[in-house]
Every structure is written in C-alpha cells, then in structure tokens.
Amino acid sequence: MPELDYLGTERPSLILYLPHRPEGLEQLIGNPDTRELIKNNSNHWRKIVTLLAKVASPGEEWRDFRDRELFRQTALCFAPHLKAFDTWHWIGGKDNLQRFEIPGLDARPLREAPAVAIDYERQILLTPYPDYRQLKNATVSQIRAALVQLGFYSKG
C-alpha cells in the first residue's frame, strides 16, 4: 500500500517537508505529476512546487524542471520526521519545524539571508514557509548559492 505521507522518487536529491497534504494525493502517489497536482489544487500548491523547482533545478530552466523532472528528482513529505535517506531535507516554516524532534540540530543562518538556516552536517535546510511572500526570489538565489558551494547541483 502506498505511503500517503510521501510523494516523489525513492532516491530524491531534496525532500521538502510540509505540514499538510494536497488534494488527490492518493491518485498522485503511483504516478507523481506536477501538472496534475497543480490542476487539482489551489494556486498555493503551484507556488510550493514552483519554489521547490527553483531550489532543486540544476540549471536556470526551473519551469521545464518543475513540469517534467520535479518528482523524478525530489519529493514532498508530510510526516513530522526526517526520512532516512542520504539526501537534503528542507523543512519549510517555523510552525512546521516545531512538529519535528531533531536532537542536536546545528542550523546556522545564512549571512545573506538570515531567515534561512542550514545544518551542513545533516544536510537540513530551514526556511520560511515556501510561499512567494516569505521566500522571495532573492532568498531563493541565496539558498541556491549556498547549495552550489556545498556541491548539491554537481551530485550525480
């Protein structure tokens, strides 16, 4: 039986953890499709997957990445615990972070974007909730710059 707390590839480069599920998750589990997720949900979900694509896309073509590759390379998780994958874990929102128990979390704010923090050893990215008002393009650029330095986009 499919896990209703997870949507995406079994070997993601990045998992975005959110506190709520999209409508129609049951139908998407077997065949994750960004366009279907957006079509069956509000504009709010278009913003979420767009921001995920902007952060995770290996190049500048985030729209194509969002529509064709997003769930082949990333995942969404709705459970309040980190998956035991060797991957980057992105927890969006302070309220969402409160759901997690992460002993010894050592997330340090980015100097250029102090609302964003990274635990480099555990590969945990903490940001405001993935919404355009809270996670503006300038902040996304700072996140991408930090991930470039960490070799995120050069991994196989």
- pTM for the whole structure: 0.95
**pLDDT digits 0-9 by tens, 141-155:** 999 999 999 999 986
Q: What is the pLDDT of residues 48-92, one digit of tens each?
A: 999 999 999 998 899 999 999 999 999 999 999 999 889 999 999
What is the rounded average pLDDT of the residues 89-113? 95
The pLDDT tens digits for 119-136 are 999 999 999 999 988 899
Q: What is the rounded CA–CA span in Å between residue 7 and residue 27?
A: 11
In tens, the pLDDT along 7-22 reads 999 999 999 999 999 9
Cα distance between residue 41 and residue 58, in whole Å: 26
Give the C-alpha separation, 11 to 95, whole Å.
Answer: 27
CB atoms within 10 A of CB 131: 14
